[in-house]
Amino acid sequence: MLGLSKKDTTFLLIVIFLTLATPILLQPFPEGSALAQFNAGYPDLMQRFAIYGIFAIGFNILFGLTGYLSFGHAAFLGVGSYSVVWMYKLLSYNVLPGLILAVLMSALFALFIGFISLRRSGIYFSILTLAFAQMSFNLAYSVLTPLTNGETGLQVYTNDPQVLMSAGSPTSPHFFGIVMNESAKIDVGGWQFTFSNGYYFCAIIAIIVFYLSLRIFRSPFGIMLRAIKTNQTRMSYTGLNSRPYTLAAFVISGMYAGLAGGLLASMDPLAGAERMQWTASGEVVLMTILGGAGTLMGPVLGAGFIKYFENIFSKINDNILYAWFSALPEGLADALVFMLHPFIGKGWNLTLGLLFMLVVIFLPGGLMEGGSRIWGLITGKNRKSKKAGKDPEHHPKPSAHVN
């Protein structure tokens, strides 16, 4: 179906189901229960999952396939956001023109930055992209204020032209009348599910771009990109110039980032320069590596993981901890809270950092590798565990020749 193999079609259908059912799946605890704060099924967070998922999927096309580590992808995120807000200011609150402009502008930016940065590889490439992103950030922050409104951030004012606005048009971002921040709340038993327009808009776009990335992974172009990652010498002695391939991958991933940036501004009609800062570029690197670079689903998982930590762990405070430990003797509870204090609230970065270290050290393939190992243990298909069973002191066969 859709030009995919049977296995990939099943995979895509599962992804579609999970994405569409997210408002239900992320709401596992009934309202009012002690664990309800771990529910992630509210629109704002789910939209972030989808948007940063798109960002990471795009980043993975570059980093996961070609191995070129860009530290400047946040620049495209910012370009996308500014494009959308400008379209609000000039035309109307319909997000479509803005999103199209966001993708085109970020493609142009990526073509320019990629053309220069891809003259180098490895760490030099990373530094060049980082330099470009920081330049963009500084330009947006202080130099190009007429275009970006500097540190205040770009937003829509009442005296903006908005030439396509008529009397009845919605006054917040919408897609042909479907207003993004409207939602339907449904109560089932103790549970409350929120189905928001904004989330479903992002989710459908995310599914489309996920499908496109699946096609890219399975295409001759995808296999070329993986070949570039493995051996550029053989690549050139096979008659292939790797530059156009890497540039195309860079532009495609830049377009994904621009789309994600545009969607951020579609959910909340603001665009600030801080969206372009290097921390945002670093975040997508973390997402991709945490989830599993080069895998299809990994970056999305990584994005979800980091955004969950950012929004849920940061909300746990000492009072909540005391409530959990209320059954324990006071001294013990104090000690536990004291120990856990650095890891919660504002300390969520510390927890995430530790987790990231653990994943990188023990699961170099990211969460996806963890998942497949667990799956292997359950089904017994894991070759390593089988071999270990037969030959507990298994040693690798000595290789016949020295390489």
Partner 1 sequence: MGILEVSNVNKRFGGLQALGNVNLDIAAGTVHAIIGPNGAGKSTLLNVLVGKLIPDTGTVLFNGVSVLGRKPYEINQLGISRVFQTPEIFSDLTVFENMLIPCFAKRDGSFRLHALESIAAEKDLIEKAEHMLTEVNMADKRHMLASSLSRGDKRRLEMAMCLVQEPKLLLLDEPTAGMARADTNNTIDLLNQIHDSREITMVIIEHDMHVVFSLAKRITVLAQGSPLVEDTPDNIKGHPKVKEAYLGEAAA
Establish if 45 lies at the interface with partner 1 (CB under 8 A).
no
CB-nearer residue toward partner 1: 144 or 240: 240
Three-class HEC string of 333-402: HHHHHHHHHHHCHHHHHHHHHHHHHHHHHHCCCHHHHHHHHHHHHHHCCCHHHHHHHHCCCCCCCCCCCC
Distance CA 266, CA 283 (A): 21
The single residue listed with the structure tokens 């003259």 is 119
Taking phi over 0 as left and psi of -120 to 50 as alpha, with beta for the rest, 337 belongs to: alpha
Selection from 266, 242, 337, 352 nearest residue 47 by Cα:
266
Report in angstroms how near the CB of residue 29 gets to partner 1 at its nearest: 41
Establish if 390 lies at the interface with partner 1 (CB under 8 A).
no
Instruction: Report which secondary-structure segment, H or E, holds 195.
Output: strand 191-196
The single residue listed with the structure tokens 């545009």 is 262
Site string for partner 1, 77-96 (x = CB under 8 A): --------------------
Establish if 396 lies at the interface with partner 1 (CB under 8 A).
no
Site string for partner 1, 156-195 (x = CB under 8 A): ----------------------------------------
- For 332, residues 6+ apart whose C-beta sits below 8 A from its C-beta are 325
The answer to whether the beta carbons of residues 91 and 223 sit under 8 Å apart is: no
Distance CA 77, CA 369 (A): 28
CB-nearer residue toward partner 1: 51 or 228: 228
Give the range of 34-42, 92-100, 198-206, 224-232 binding partner 1 by CB under 8 A: 224-232
CB-nearer residue toward partner 1: 8 or 283: 8
For partner 1 (CB under 8 A), the number of binding residues is: 36
Establish if 10 lies at the interface with partner 1 (CB under 8 A).
no
Site string for partner 1, 244-283 (x = CB under 8 A): xx--x---x-------------------------------
Report in angstroms how near the CB of residue 249 gets to partner 1 at its nearest: 9
Distance CA 260, CA 255 (A): 9
CB-nearer residue toward partner 1: 5 or 37: 5
Please select the residue that binds partner 1; options are 142, 169, 219, 317, rule is CB under 8 A.
219
Establish if 32 lies at the interface with partner 1 (CB under 8 A).
no
CB-nearer residue toward partner 1: 168 or 220: 220
CB-nearer residue toward partner 1: 230 or 385: 230
User: Restricting to residues 230-249, which ones interact with partner 1 according to CB under 8 A?
Assistant: 230-231, 233-241, 244-245, 248
Establish if 403 lies at the interface with partner 1 (CB under 8 A).
yes
Secondary structure percentages of the chain, helix, strand, coil, to 5: 70, 5, 25
User: Restricting to residues 98-157, which ones interact with partner 1 according to CB under 8 A?
Assistant: none
Residue 281 has, within 13 A of its CA and on its CB side, a CA count of: 25
Distance CA 143, CA 299 (A): 34
Distance CA 185, CA 198 (A): 14
Phi first, then psi: what are they for 325, rounded to 5°? -95, 15
Please select the residue that binds partner 1; options are 153, 222, 345, 370, rule is CB under 8 A.
222
Per DSSP, the three-state class of 325 is: coil
CB-nearer residue toward partner 1: 190 or 244: 244
Selection from 65, 7, 134, 78 nearest residue 288 by Cα:
65
Give the range of 129-137, 138-146, 221-229, 386-394 binding partner 1 by CB under 8 A: 221-229
Count of residues for the chain? 403
Give the range of 155-163, 179-187, 277-285, 395-403 binding partner 1 by CB under 8 A: 395-403
Report in angstroms how near the CB of residue 230 gets to partner 1 at its nearest: 4
CB-nearer residue toward partner 1: 5 or 171: 5
The site for partner 1 (CB under 8 A) is made up of: 3-5, 212, 215-216, 218-224, 226-227, 229-231, 233-241, 244-245, 248, 252, 399-403
